[in-house]
Structure 1
Amino acid sequence: MDEAGWPRVFHLLFYTCLGMAATIAAMEGDLDPVALALTVVMACWYAFFVARRPALLERLNPMAWHFLVLLGLNFALVSRNDGYDMMLYGMVALPYLLLPGRWGYVGAVVLVLTSAVAGGALTAVPEDPAVLAFVVGSGALSIIMGLFTQDLMRHSEQNRVVGALEERARLAREIHDTLAQGFSGIIAQLEAAEQGIGDPEAVRKRILLAKGLARDSLKEARRSVDALRPEPLERATLDQALAGVAERWSAATGVPASVSVDGESRRLPEEAEATLLRAAQEGLANVARHARAGRVVLTLSYMDEEVTLDVLDDGSGFDPDAPARGYGLVAMRERAARSGGTVTVESAPGEGTALCVSIPSA
């Protein structure tokens, strides 16, 4: 459950107990106009000053004052009608939800004592010692509920932080896979245009390619922000999208790139398809930046339990064990890991590079 989920559960518990108490009192004929008015005031106070102000929860000021008002209203209701005793259970999480740290335990003790006093439990102890056991048991329940509530809230906060970090990493990968690669391609085309300044036709061709890359990068950046599928996958299957990526890359770099498919093509989960497409884009970008290759081959293999993408080039190669300076392979491995996959790189100086991304599909 997310960070806001547990407070909603506690709000529901409060209103359920309040509604049940009022219903029972009405059925027994004990819900007089004053008790009804107090019930409405209590429900409205909670709605406007607690449920509608999640940003102020666990702040001593003003939530301590709202807690005292709710205690006073509950005291008045329990004093008028024993049926409202169940509000102790509806409010048992309230001190820990409203008050910070150890103040929650102070609020819980005050809640139990005011409920016991309002219901006449303390004055009944000399005549019936068992009542004392009930009060102590209620106090123990309140403490246990406090530990439970604080543990839930702590885990919710941890989940929120983890989610934020994962989203930050996702955006970093998306920016790298779209804007960074797009800008690299645009710079390469403009540099080529600058070198061919004496050939207007060649310059015009390079500028057109740069403009195309800029438009594609802008579209992908917008889609990345919206956490949508990569644009090529919006209108084509994975193998068709890979063919389109390879064709555009070849047009921009002048290096032939071919795509082959082994096995029967099938749809994969969206995240898996996006991972394989991004891996192909990153692999081709690395070839353009570093490999000085004469040819690139992309192979998409559909097997029973997994799907693999191989990007092979006949370029200069490199030492895979050398410290990496870029973010590309790191982002690729993070993407693959999210789908339960792996990334392997085989290369050696002067012997080209083989990049393999494997995603389970069973």
Structure 2
Amino acid sequence: MTRIVPWVFGAVYGIVLLAGLYFVVGGLGGGDPLRLTGFLAGMAMLFVVEVVAWRAPRWEVWLLGVRLALFVVVVAFDESGLSRVLFVLVPFAAYLAFGRRVGVVLGGVALALLVGGFAVRVPGWYRDADHVSDVLMFSMGLVLALAMADVALRERRAASRVAELSAAAERSRMARDLHDSLGHHLTAVSIQLEKAAAFAERDAGVARQALADARTSVGRALEDVRASVGALRAEPARLVDALAGLAADGVDLHVDGEERGTDQATATALYRAAQEAVTNARRHGRAATVGITVTFGAHGTRLVVTDDGIGFDVTTPRDGFGLLGLRERAALLGGTATVDSTPGAGTRVVVTVPAILPP
């Protein structure tokens, strides 16, 4: 179940608790101490259930039954009758835990029980404006609860889809990397070996140099393979921790703000973007200094990578990952990526990713 549920449940509990206390303090009921004690105890247990549900989401199915039992207890002790609204939360939670069909069915059952209870306890209830109003408001609450559950469920599926697309994009990027780097090195090895074979009898010195160059290309190819394997294995739990690994390799890292609950897809995407930008700065830009600045804001995360390398003309098409790959990575998370560079003046890469949920 999504993390929105505890917030919704807690808010409804708070409203019901305040309404019940107002009913007693305002002298609108009989003021029975035993019923008030039972009501307060039941509400306290509901808050405890939400704490447990937050810390142990795997128990959510069982806790749904506990909530339902406590709802019955609270309604039985509540003199105001306003706590009946708690039953709106049952189809809401069921919708998130079991799907649309179960949520809608339980919503219908809850409405039928309310109407049935009125029919048994209050003859001619349908002629009373207060009872009819109760049924209408309960029905409206059911509709809103189910609609909210549907939005939360779609949001959860969208977040899962983003993670899947991010993983697919990462596989595509790694394929491009292997083609661009490993393919280049293997081609160089093949050429050097052919050269060594051709000069083996005519010029031993040239042949030896060709073999030495081939060994150098093999070493570079192995370094690229190790880097690619390490990138595939690394799944940063926290973006700052992952970027600190790049800083250990001589990159200046500056963090602005506090990282709070960065999801896996966002952390991975931003880390890969930073990793790619740093690699390009050193491999192609021949930069002496590379800096990373990450800013955590209320509406998203901003990553900036700068270097003092040779730069390039951004209007000239380039092979490899480049600007297109950066944009693809950011777009998967609803963000943007820009690359500013001028020949001889270094490069600046900016990736901005919005927050999935408001803080």
- Give the structure-1-normalised TM-score: 0.55
> Is the Cα contact below 8 Å between 1:190 and 1:210 reproduced in 2?
yes
Residue 92 (structure 2) pairs with residue 96 (structure 1): yes
2:71 is aligned with 1:77: no
Equivalents in 1 of 2:35, 2:338: separation in Å? Answer: 63
Residue 144 of structure 1 deviates from its aligned partner by: 1.7
Q: Distance in 1 between matches of 2:51 and 2:115?
A: 25
| Secondary structure of the corresponding residue to residue 312 of structure 2 | strand
Q: 1:106 to 1:312 in 2, by over 3 A?
A: closer
Aligned residue number for residue 258 of structure 2: none
Pair 1:16 & 2:18 matched: no
Give the whole-Å Cα distance in 1 for the aligned partners of 2:188 and 2:159: 42
List gaps (5 residues or longer) in structure 1.
58-62, 249-258, 260-265, 277-297, 302-307, 314-325, 343-357
Identity of aligned residues (%): 13
CA contact (8 A) 2:189 2:218 kept: yes
Q: Give yes or no for contact 1:79–1:118 (8 Å, CA) kept in 2.
A: no
**Runs of at least 5 residues in structure 2 that lack an aligned partner in the other structure:** 26-30, 201-206, 237-241, 253-273, 295-301, 340-347, 352-359
Matches within 5 A, 1:1-362: 4-17=2-15, 20=18, 33-45=37-49, 47-48=51-52, 50-51=53-54, 54=57, 63=61, 67=64, 69-83=66-80, 85-99=81-95, 100-112=99-111, 122-123=121-122, 126=125, 129-192=128-191, 194-195=193-194, 196=196, 198=200, 199-219=207-227, 221-223=229-231, 225-226=234-235, 235=250, 244-246=282-284, 300-301=312-313, 308=314, 310=316, 331=325, 334=328, 339=336
**Conserved in 1, the CA contact under 8 Å of 2:292 and 2:303?**
no
User: 1:19–1:329: structure 2 CA closer, same or farther, 3 Å change rule?
Assistant: same
Distance 2:115 2:18 in 1: 20
Deviation at 1:38, TM superposition (A): 3.6
Q: 2:13 & 2:157 partners in 1: Cα distance?
A: 28
- Pick closer, same or farther for the CA change 1:339–1:272 going to 2, 3 Å: farther
Q: 1:11 to 1:33 in 2, by over 3 A?
A: closer
TM-fit CA distance, 1:96? 2.7
Residues 1:299 and 1:185: Cα distance change in structure 2 (over 3 Å):
same
Could you tell me whether the CA contact under 8 Å between 2:186 and 2:217 is conserved in 1? no
Give the conservation status (yes or no) of the 8 Å contact 1:93–1:145: no
Query: Root-mean-square deviation (CA), in Å?
Result: 5.3
Secondary structure, in 3 states, of the residue corresponding to 2:230?
A: helix
Distance in 2 between residues matched to 1:187 and 1:135, nearest whole Å: 77
**Equivalent in the alignment of 2:255:** none
Which digits, 9 at most, give the CA deviation of each residue in 1:235-294, with x for residues without a partner? 56999975642378xxxxxxxxxx9xxxxxx999976859x9xxxxxxxxxxxxxxxxxx
The residue that corresponds to 2:263 in the other structure is none
Contact 1:38/1:77, CA 8 A, preserved across alignment:
yes
Contact 1:35 1:80 in 2 (8 A): yes
What SS does the aligned partner of 1:300 have?
coil
TM-score by length of 2: 0.55
**1:66-112 CA deviation, whole Å, 9 max, x = no partner?**
545533432232222225x4444444233132253333233234445
> Larger deviation: 34-43 or 109-118?
109-118
Alignment correspondent of 1:282: none
CA distance in 2, matches of 1:171, 1:272: 20
Q: 1:3-26 CA deviation, whole Å, 9 max, x = no partner? A: 834324323334434654676689
- Partner of 2:122: helix, strand, or coil? coil
